[in-house]
Amino acid sequence: MKKFELMALPYAMDALEPVISRQTLEFHHGKHLAGYVNNLNGLASPPNPSPKGEGSLEEFEALKELVLNSEGAILNNAGQILNHNLYFGQFAAPKADNAPTGQLAEAIVRDFGSFEAFKEAFQKSGATLFGSGWVWLSADKDGKLVITQEVNAANPIQKGLKPLLTFDVWEHAYYLDYQNRRPDHLAALWQIVDWEVVSKRL
C-alpha cells in the first residue's frame, strides 16, 4: 500500500488559465509532484499514524514530522510534497481585484503597511531568490506576519513559523508559460490566490 498519495487538485486542470496553463499544471502536478510522492514512498518507513489519503490531517502531520526530523533524500522529497500541497491547495479561478479580507487583511496592513506594499515585498523576495526555491508568507509564534525565502525544498516550519501562502519559484512552475520572466509569473499569481484558504491557515 502506498504510504503517501498525490493530492487531488480542488479545481479543473484549465481552471487557473491564463495565469497557469493546463500544460504547466499537468507537468507540475502530474509529473513533478507525482515524482516526489513516488520517491518518498520508496524511501520512507510507514508513518504512524498511517496517512489516510491526500489532503488528510494525518498525511499533513506525517509530512511535517519528516520535514522536521529527516535529512537527505527523505527531507527533500517530503519537503517538496508539503510545499506543493500547500501551493496547489491555495488557488482558485482568476478573479479581478483579488485581495484578502477580515483578520488576514488587517494583519497584512499592520505588518506591511498596506496590501500593495506586501505584494511588492513578496514579489521582490520571489524574484531575487537565487536558484530554485519558494517565497513564503508565514506567521511567527506571536502572530506577526513575515516573508521568507526558502531554498530548494525548505519550509518555514523548520524556523518555527506557520506557513500561510507560498509562490513556487522553481523554473518548472512557470517556464512553459513565462520562460525566464519570473517577475511576470509572480505578479500574475495574485489573480488566483484563494484568500479564504490562506485565511484559514492563519
Q: Check if 22-88 and 102-201 are the same fold.
A: no
pLDDT at 44: 73
Q: Where are the beta strands (DSSP E) in the chain?
A: 133-139, 145-151, 162-168
Mean pLDDT, rounded, of the chain:
92
Q: In the chain, pLDDT over 70 holds for what percent of residues? A: 93
pLDDT at 56: 63
pLDDT in tens, 22-71: 999 999 999 999 999 999 999 976 554 444 444 566 888 999 999 999 99
Quote the cell numbers at residue 17.
Answer: 488559465
Per-domain boundaries in the chain: 22-88, 102-201
Q: Grid cell 499537468 — which residue?
A: 26
Which class is domain 22-88?
mainly alpha
Handedness of CA 3, 91, 178, 24 (dihedral sign): positive
Range 58-66, long-range pairs (CB < 8 A, 24+ positions): 59/4, 59/5, 60/85, 62/4, 63/4, 64/157, 66/40
Amino acid 189 reads: L
Cross-strand bridge partners of residue 135: 149, 167
Find all residues with CB under 8 Å of 5, minimum gap 6, and list them. Answer: 37, 51, 53, 54, 59
CATH code matching the domain that covers 102-201, chosen among 3.30.450.20, 2.70.98.20, 3.55.40.20, 1.10.10.10: 3.55.40.20
pLDDT in tens, 60-116: 899 999 999 999 999 999 999 999 999 999 999 999 899 999 999 999 999 999 999
Q: Grid cell 513564503 — which residue?
A: 136
Q: Where are the beta strands (DSSP E) in 62-126?
A: none
Cα torsion 117, 122, 124, 130 to 10°: value is 170
